[in-house]
Amino acid sequence: MCGIAGILYKDQSANAMVGKALIDMLDGCQHRGPDSTGFSLYRESRPGHLRLRFIVGEGEDAKQAIARVKAKLEEFQAQIVEEEHKGSSYAALVKFDGDLPKFAFEMEHAAKLSSIGESLDIIKDLGGAHDVDRIYKIENFQGTHGIGHVRLATESDVAPEATHPFWATGFADISIVHNGQITNYYKMRRRLEKQGYFFNTDNDSELIAVYLADKLKHGITLKEALKSSIEDLDGTFSFLVSTKDEIGYAKDRLAAKPMVKYEDDKIIAIASEEVSLNRLFPGRALNTTEPAPGTYETWQRSTLA
């Protein structure tokens, strides 16, 4: 059992309190996943820049990992503009406009890579939403939209790298959070690996991110990709996906994994349980809806007024 949450601001503001909103929502469903918590945070991009985040650990291991990352960045002539080392992660904003798949592949061999994006920054660690916030100051993050996850480990390690969200390796700004199990994981993974895609973990949820990225690469819209996922992925699942300007969900036909959404003229918010949505509007009676089995939907910032 895990919990998912996502929010997108319709007014196209780049300064919405996305971090605080996600903390409130994830804290509301923390009972669904006490082991670890993660956030995909999106902001306006800076042309010609990429934001990278790595899981490097602490102490001497961290020093060595950061040194490897910096050496690899220098090899690619990627200039560090900003950097920070907090908790078990190291993040850097770099100037780079080269071959992203090749760059990502090489960076993954320098340290455990959480994300690369023009807009995306994935922050994840052990503990609850407030535990992670105390280290990384998530509450202060201002941006455009985001998704998050609280995890109860069932099939893989309790470790930062096994924590959601998952980034679609080699594709900037695509991330997912997932509640459920993909039962044809190995079959689908082998199919994607034969096409040259790379996986960082053995977590079945990572498959969803790579699967959707492959669809987008071939010119399929996110909405069409979500429709295909219901056909192609076996198992029980409710998941959220986000790109640099879009957010969406898919829910399998069995509908064993809960999901509820709230929408008004300012936001679209989606979560595993209504208690998470109520945290956004304390004391208000919300007109929420539960997506039907086998459904999917997307919302795009660029088309929202």
Does 2 participate in catalysis according to the annotation? Answer: yes
Distance from C-alpha of 39 to C-alpha of 150, rounded to nearest angstrom: 9
Provide Rg for the chain, Cα atoms: 18
**Pick the catalytic residue: 2, 26, 260, 269?**
2
Q: How is the beta sheet containing 246-251 ordered, strand by strand?
A: 166-167, 175-182, 235-242, 246-251, 296-300
Helix, strand and coil content of the chain, in percent to the nearest 5, comes to: 30, 30, 35
Amino acid identity of residue 297, one-letter, is E
Strand partners, 296: 250
Token pair, residue 50, equals 């990429």
d(CA 118, CA 42) in angstroms, rounded, equals 9
Q: How far apart are alpha carbons 17 and 2 in whole angstroms? A: 24
Nearest to 299 by CA among 147, 118, 182, 164: 147
**Residues 259, 260, 262, CA angle at the centre, nearest 5°?**
150
Residue 285: phi, psi to the nearest 5? -85, 115
Q: List, by residue number, the catalytic residues.
A: 2
